[in-house]
Structure formats: C-alpha cells, structure tokens
Amino acid sequence: MICLGVESTAHTFGIAIANNNKVLSNEIKSFTTEHGGIVPNLAAKHHVEVCDQVLKSALKRANVKLGDIQLIAFSISPGLGHTLRIGAMMARTLSILLKKPLVGVNHCIAHLEVGRALTKAKDPVLLYVSGANTQIIAYEAGKYRIFGETLDQGVGNLIDSFARFLDLGFPGGPKIAELAKHGKKLIELPYSVKGMDVSFGGLLTNLKQKYITGKFTKEDLCYSMQEHIFAMLVEVSERAMAHTGKQELLLGGGVACNTRLQEMAKQMCKERGARCYVLPNEFNVDNAAMIALTGVQMFNAGSEIKVEKSEIKPYERTDDVNVIWR
C-alpha cells in the first residue's frame, strides 16, 4: 500500500511516501529564526509557502505519481492549531481529489511506531524528547501509556529557551550541543526527578541567574545543563523499564539527535543488559515518514476517518488513543 503522509504539528512541514513499512521519500522544510523563538502564525505562513514544493519533491524522490497514492495520512494531534490546520487541509484536499481514504495520526505515537517499523525494536519503552513533549511511553493493555513526563516544559523547549536567552536563534539544540562539547567544568544545577516525572523550570531560572553573574562560561553552562537534564531523563527511562519489565529503549524526538544523550542512554541499557535503539536523525526530528508508516498500520486495522470528521485535536494526549492496530 502506497501512503502519502503529511506532518505539520509545529515548525516542520513534511511530506513522505511509504510503501507499507518501506520509506520511499521523506521531505521536510522547517521554519527557523536567527533570533527569538517559534511564532505559530508565522510557522503556519511558512507551511503554506512551502507545501507545494515539499509535495513535489516527495513525489519526485519516491518516483511516484499522485495517481499511485492509495492512502493519505496526516498528523491530526497534538500540536499548534495554526500549523496543524495547514497539513490537515492539504491532506483532506488530496483525499477528496484522489478519492483515497484518510487517516488521522497522533504525532507522539508516530514517534514510537517509526522505531518499531525501522529498527528491530518490538515493544520498546520510548523516551520521547522533543520541543513541546517530554514523555516516557510504553504499550500496556491497548494503549500507549505515559509512565512519566515533564511537569512543566518539554526538554527541547528548555534547551531552546536557554539558547534564546544566549541569542543563539531557533532551534537551539544543535548550537547548545556544540557549545557543550567545549565545556570543561561541571557546575551543580537543580536536579528535579519526582517519581517518574521530571521538572525543568527551576533549572532554567538557575542557569539564567548563573549566566548573568558573569562568573560562568557559556560552554560550561551548556555542558552542565546537558549532563543534568540527560541524567534526569535516563534515570526515569530506567525506572520505566524496571517497572514494565521491558528490555528495549527507543529514543525519539528532536532532542534524541543529541549524541551525548544517546551515549548516556546506551550506557544505561548496557548496564542492565537491555537494548537501546537510536534512529537516523531524519526520523528523530519531526518528519512525515513516521506519519505515513503509522497511517498504513492504522488503516489496515480499520482506522479510516471521513473528511467531515477529520477535525484536528491540538490537545489530544498519547493515552487518549485506542491502539487497535497492535
């Protein structure tokens, strides 16, 4: 089955073509800024401007014509209303014009399903670390359950906020990671793990205060921030694995591109005799391949939706979805 996937939950607009669980193309264009953060209506404007071009390049790279498409999948939730609407409109239009079925995919779940489709992971705990989201997710009794999550902001938003404070532009993750490589001294920062949950708010305030004193270098602060937040995330992931008895950890979301986080997660898994799966970066950041791959599975299990019922759900939670395809 040839499926066209559309992703538009936040700053990235993506179109991918998948043939069952094989990715034929995975094209993205992302809204970025040199200063400041993401502005929802500007990101939506960006998506309108690039959607045609992204569609053309996805078809070309996959060597597929519009007429070959058999299924349309799109990210229906969760995310920014402004940007979700652009992808949803495009998916509905294609579904009507091509007379092909439509499937609405939860973006967080797609971050896990892409790992099951493209790695050997069968039933992993997902450490899902992106801009807006920080969750430890695993399958249990018909749903993807959230075993732990951030009590305030997502880890990527924390990284991006500190980057914005240092005037590094958006997204800040890769720039902070680069500065962190040159850090030499580990500065003690708030370490906030509450049971299975984490909290970052106090840490961000503390980092800003420390920077303003002028006594600490950017490099040392970035290095120390990474060491603290990644240790917190790996700790709760390990606890989730112990609780669920699962032997696989999958990393997902844009922050999973960070090689220091990957290293720490692999080390933890090695020590407990478990396996750690890391996807190529193009499937960690927001992408449409994960939407297409999940869409195929959902459709095969009967999850088609009608165009008139395909309203976006900006606030849907991972555990609101009945996982009928597993």
The structure tokens 């999940």 sit at 294
The distance of closest approach from Cβ of residue 75 to ligand ATP in the complex, given in angstroms and rounded to an integer, is 8
Closer residue to ligand ATP in complex, CB, 179/236: 179
How many CB atoms are located within 10 Å of the residue 121 CB? Answer: 21
Closer residue to Fe ion in complex, CB, 31/223: 31
Out of Fe ion, ligand ATP, none, what residue 257 binds, judged by CB under 5 to 8 A for its kind, is ligand ATP
The distance of closest approach from Cβ of residue 82 to ligand ATP in the complex, given in angstroms and rounded to an integer, is 13
The distance of closest approach from Cβ of residue 57 to ligand ATP in the complex, given in angstroms and rounded to an integer, is 19
Give the burial class of 209: count Cβ atoms within 10 A of its Cβ; 0-12 exposed, 13-18 middle, 19 or more buried. Answer: exposed
Separation of alpha carbons 196 and 239, rounded Å: 7
Beta bridge partners of 272: none
Q: Are 299 and 291 within 8 A, CB to CB?
A: no
Beta bridge partners of 2: 19
Out of Fe ion, ligand ATP, none, what residue 115 binds, judged by CB under 5 to 8 A for its kind, is none
Out of ligand ATP, Fe ion, none, what residue 171 binds, judged by CB under 5 to 8 A for its kind, is ligand ATP
The distance of closest approach from Cβ of residue 304 to ligand ATP in the complex, given in angstroms and rounded to an integer, is 24
The distance of closest approach from Cβ of residue 260 to Fe ion in the complex, given in angstroms and rounded to an integer, is 20
Closest of 138, 33, 19 to residue 69, by C-alpha: 19
SS3 call for 188: coil
Closer residue to Fe ion in complex, CB, 30/224: 30
Catalog residues that contact ligand ATP under the rule CB under 6 A. 9-12, 79, 107, 130-133, 156, 159-160, 171-174, 177, 253-255, 257-258, 285-286
Out of Fe ion, ligand ATP, none, what residue 290 binds, judged by CB under 5 to 8 A for its kind, is none
Cα dihedral 55, 50, 174, 85 sign? negative
